[in-house]
């Protein structure tokens, strides 16, 4: 008897899943309505048609796409349970939201415009929107897609800089003087330095 019950249950749930959004079950397992359902003045059908013009013409768990067909989506109790760009409607179904999806400035998206990247201070990187540089710089920790690597990221780590084949360590002179004894900057002609220390990575 138990085996037959399990078999019937498996067949039932299998057929229900194949029907997609044609059936909508309450938490107690009961079906909400037979051919139509209403919540206040808002009504919808349980039967998914071959074509549609509005979401309520599709069964719960489906929405009407721009090409006029019902497409399966998720059930919900509130909009926070729906994917980005969707909201929870009166059928407890996630449907495309009328609110525009906010545009997100990224740091590593592909570039499709001719504008040059802005020169950004250390610790920041150029923002990208819709394939173009925005002209503004974002703090690397604020990049939603992660910040691109730059040799300047290793400014505080001489060993990491010298170990990275794509980068080079820059050193500055200490106690540098010219032949006359005047102070000078390392790299200048006839400038001699007592020693050199790590400055930055490039």
User: What are 83-127's pLDDT values in tens digits?
Assistant: 988 999 988 999 999 877 678 899 999 999 998 999 999 889 999
Q: What is the pTM of this model?
A: 0.43
**42, 18, 47: which is closest to 31 by C-alpha?**
47
Burial class (CB in 10 A: 0-12, 13-18, 19+), 125: buried
> So where are the chain's domains?
2-96, 103-148, 149-202
User: For residue 44, what pLDDT band results from cuts at 50, 70 and 90?
Assistant: low
User: What number of other Cβ atoms are within 10 A of residue 132's Cβ?
Assistant: 14
User: What number of other Cβ atoms are within 10 A of residue 36's Cβ?
Assistant: 11
Contact residues for 77 (Cβ-Cβ < 8 A; gap 6+): 88, 92
**152, 148, 124: which is closest to 136 by C-alpha?**
124
Contact residues for 84 (Cβ-Cβ < 8 A; gap 6+): 101
- CA–CA gap between residue 193 and residue 183 (Å, rounded): 10
The total number of residues written for the chain in this structure: 202
- CA–CA gap between residue 73 and residue 143 (Å, rounded): 30
Contact 137, 105 (CB under 8 A): no
pLDDT digits (tens, 9 = 90+) for 52-76: 898 888 888 899 999 999 999 999 9
pLDDT digits (tens, 9 = 90+) for 153-178: 899 999 999 999 999 999 999 999 99
């Amino acid at each position: 008897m138990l085996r037959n019950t399990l078999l019937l249950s498996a067949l039932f749930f299998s057929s229900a899943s194949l029907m997609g959004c044609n059936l909508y079950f309450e938490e107690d397992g009961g079906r909400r309505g037979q051919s139509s359902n209403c919540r206040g003045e808002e009504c919808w059908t349980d039967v998914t048609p071959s074509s549609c013009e509005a979401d309520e013409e599709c069964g719960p768990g489906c929405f009407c796409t721009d090409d006029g067909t019902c497409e399966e989506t998720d059930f919900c109790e509130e909009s926070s349970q729906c994917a980005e760009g969707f909201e929870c409607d009166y059928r407890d179904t996630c449907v495309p939201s009328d609110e525009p999806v906010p545009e997100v400035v990224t740091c590593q998206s592909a570039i499709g415009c001719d504008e040059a990247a802005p020169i950004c201070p250390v610790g920041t990187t150029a923002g990208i929107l819709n394939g173009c540089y925005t002209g503004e710089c974002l703090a690397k920790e604020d990049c939603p897609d992660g910040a691109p690597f730059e040799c300047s990221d290793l400014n505080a780590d001489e060993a990491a800089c010298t170990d990275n084949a794509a980068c080079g360590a820059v050193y500055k002179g200490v106690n540098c003087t010219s032949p006359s004894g005047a102070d000078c900057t390392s790299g200048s002609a006839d400038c001699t330095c007592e020693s050199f220390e790590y400055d930055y990575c490039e």
